[in-house]
């Protein structure tokens, strides 16, 4: 009897050992498989980040780069009562209604960035009744395709020509931009775009003074953007026409915007370029000048530029940035304005870069 009990105990002990051994081996196999799968997944994830336009994992830190391009005044269309010959609409007809024509020479820059910003100087509307003013601009609603073909993502509408065709023209413009997926900002409109998980907030203002009312509005809007975005860009339509240096209002408001949270300030309205100030490690571009500008068939100063800035984020925090300037002419020919902005090369490129440097010297 005792011998049978001992044998049963021995059998149970061996079965227990076998069971433990099986579970141990199974555990090791599962561990090795999961580790292998983890390594494979991590490799695929890193490759994915590498292929995502400048996103990458470096030493465990999530690094993202957001690139912005900005240009100045773009007026698509004619002003009321303008001559037809060599006007914007005439050029459009000459180009067989090719929407891609106007930004054809600069699209290579705009298509590679994350957001391209312009100042849309005038409504897109079929409205007939206009303000009683010397220059009342409007473009055909179909001209929104110029933006789409040119890889333009966002437009400022806070300027002195947005209401040239009154409330109807303004509402038509908002509707056509919205229907075609073009971002817009200015006046009561704020624009926030998610780029690679980074929220870019853009504001726009028409600025003829530096009143306390305006400053309160700017500060309140910036407080909102600080809560809802990681990067804040402010556009100001300001300054004096044909003046190469900013006035005190521009400098005061530009500094105020940076002091209250703006990461980049972009300016337009003077129709000529002005200097660039680096203030508290942030840039204020006082005037981008004209760009694709239907308001003048042959301006004497055709110099302009594309301002680019790349912002580097670590774990969604802005840590660094770098700028790039691409000198351009508003026209591809010298004899007149053909409304086709074109990058400059050689001596002309150097001349415009030197011009911008000289205009920026006093900051």
Residue 224 has pLDDT above 90, yes or no: yes
Burial environment of residue 189 by CB neighbours within 10 A (0 to 12, 13 to 18, 19 or more): middle
- Say what the pTM is: 0.84
Domain presence at residue 33: no
Residue 349 has pLDDT above 50, yes or no: yes
Contact assessment for residue 325 and residue 356, using Cβ atoms and an 8 Å cutoff: yes
Q: What is the DSSP letter of 332?
A: S
Please report, in angstroms and rounded to a whole number, the separation of the first and last CA atoms in the chain: 105
Which residues, 6+ apart, have CB-to-CB distance to 37 below 8 Å? none
Q: What is the DSSP letter of 142?
A: G
pLDDT of residue 49: 34
Contact assessment for residue 200 and residue 226, using Cβ atoms and an 8 Å cutoff: no
Which is more confident, 83 or 38? 83
Alpha carbon distance 263, 70 (integer Å): 14
Domain presence at residue 200: yes
Would you tell me the crossing angle of helices 248-259 and 212-228 to the nearest 10 degrees? 30
Contact assessment for residue 340 and residue 331, using Cβ atoms and an 8 Å cutoff: yes
pLDDT of residue 363: 73
Residue 17 has pLDDT above 70, yes or no: no
User: Furthest-apart CA pair in the chain: how many Å?
Assistant: 122
CA trace torsion 170, 172, 175, 176 (10° rounding): -110
User: Helix, strand, or coil here: 195?
Assistant: strand
Alpha carbon distance 67, 63 (integer Å): 13
With CA atoms as reference, report the closest residue to 186 among 137, 252, 223, 236.
Answer: 236
CATH of the domain at 316: 3.60.21.10
Domain presence at residue 92: yes
Task: Provide DSSP, 235-284.
Answer: EEE-S-TT-SS--HHHHHHHHHHHHTT-SEEEEE-SSSB--EEEETTEEE
pLDDT of residue 23: 57
Alpha carbon distance 114, 49 (integer Å): 16
Alpha carbon distance 95, 91 (integer Å): 6
Domain presence at residue 335: yes
Residue 56 has pLDDT above 60, yes or no: no
Residue 164 has pLDDT above 70, yes or no: yes
Instruction: For residues 163-182, give the mean pLDDT.
Output: 98
* Angle, vertex CA 66, rays to CA 343 and CA 143, nearest 5: 50
Which is more confident, 206 or 59? 206
Instruction: For residues 97-113, give the mean pLDDT.
Output: 98
pLDDT of residue 16: 58
Instruction: Print the domain residue range for 214.
Output: 64-361
pLDDT of residue 252: 98
* Angle, vertex CA 100, rays to CA 186 and CA 94, nearest 5: 110
Which is more confident, 48 or 134? 134
Which is more confident, 341 or 44? 341
pLDDT of residue 46: 31
pLDDT of residue 362: 81
Domain presence at residue 161: yes
Domain presence at residue 16: no
Alpha carbon distance 126, 241 (integer Å): 28
Alpha carbon distance 217, 225 (integer Å): 12
Domain presence at residue 301: yes
Domain presence at residue 4: no
Which residues, 6+ apart, have CB-to-CB distance to 202 below 8 Å? 115, 117, 154, 183, 185, 190, 191, 192, 193, 232, 233, 234, 235
Q: What is the mean pLDDT of the chain?
A: 89
pLDDT of residue 264: 98
pLDDT of residue 40: 29
Total number of domains in the chain: 1
Task: Work out the pLDDT band at 45, boundaries 50, 70, 90.
Answer: very low
């Amino acid at each position: 009897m005792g011998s049978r009990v001992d044998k049963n105990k021995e059998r149970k002990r061996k079965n227990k050992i076998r069971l433990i051994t099986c579970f141990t081996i199974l555990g090791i196999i599962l561990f090795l498989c999961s580790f292998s799968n983890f390594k494979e997944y991590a490799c695929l994830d890193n490759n994915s980040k590498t292929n995502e336009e400048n996103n990458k994992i470096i030493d465990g830190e999530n690094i993202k780069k957001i690139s912005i391009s900005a240009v100045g005044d773009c007026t698509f269309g004619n002003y009321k009562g303008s001559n037809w010959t060599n006007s914007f609409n005439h050029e459009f007809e000459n180009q067989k209604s090719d929407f891609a024509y106007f930004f054809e020479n600069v699209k290579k820059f705009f298509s590679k960035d994350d957001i391209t910003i312009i100042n849309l100087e005038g409504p897109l509307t079929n409205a007939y009744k206009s303000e009683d003013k010397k220059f009342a601009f409007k473009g055909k609603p179909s001209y929104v395709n110029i933006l789409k073909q040119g890889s333009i993502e966002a437009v400022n509408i806070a300027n002195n020509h947005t209401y040239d065709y009154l409330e109807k023209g303004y509402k038509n413009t908002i509707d056509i931009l919205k229907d075609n997926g073009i971002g817009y900002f200015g006046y009561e409109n704020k624009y926030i775009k998610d780029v690679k998980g980074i929220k870019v907030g853009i504001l726009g203002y028409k600025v003829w003074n530096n009143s306390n009312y305006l400053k309160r509005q700017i500060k309140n809007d910036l407080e909102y953007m600080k809560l809802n975005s990681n990067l804040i860009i402010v556009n100001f339509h300001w300054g004096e026409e044909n003046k190469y240096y900013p006035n005190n209002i521009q400098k005061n408001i530009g500094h105020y915007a940076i002091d209250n949270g703006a990461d980049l300030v972009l300016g337009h309205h003077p129709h000529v370029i002005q200097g660039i100030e680096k203030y508290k490690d942030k840039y204020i571009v006082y005037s981008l000048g004209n760009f694709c500008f239907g308001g003048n068939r042959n301006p004497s100063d055709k110099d302009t530029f594309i301002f680019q800035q790349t912002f580097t984020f670590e774990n969604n925090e802005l840590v660094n940035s770098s700028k790039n300037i691409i000198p351009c002419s508003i026209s591809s020919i010298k004899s007149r304005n053909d409304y086709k902005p074109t990058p400059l090369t050689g001596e002309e490129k150097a001349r415009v870069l030197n011009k911008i440097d000289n205009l920026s010297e006093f900051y």
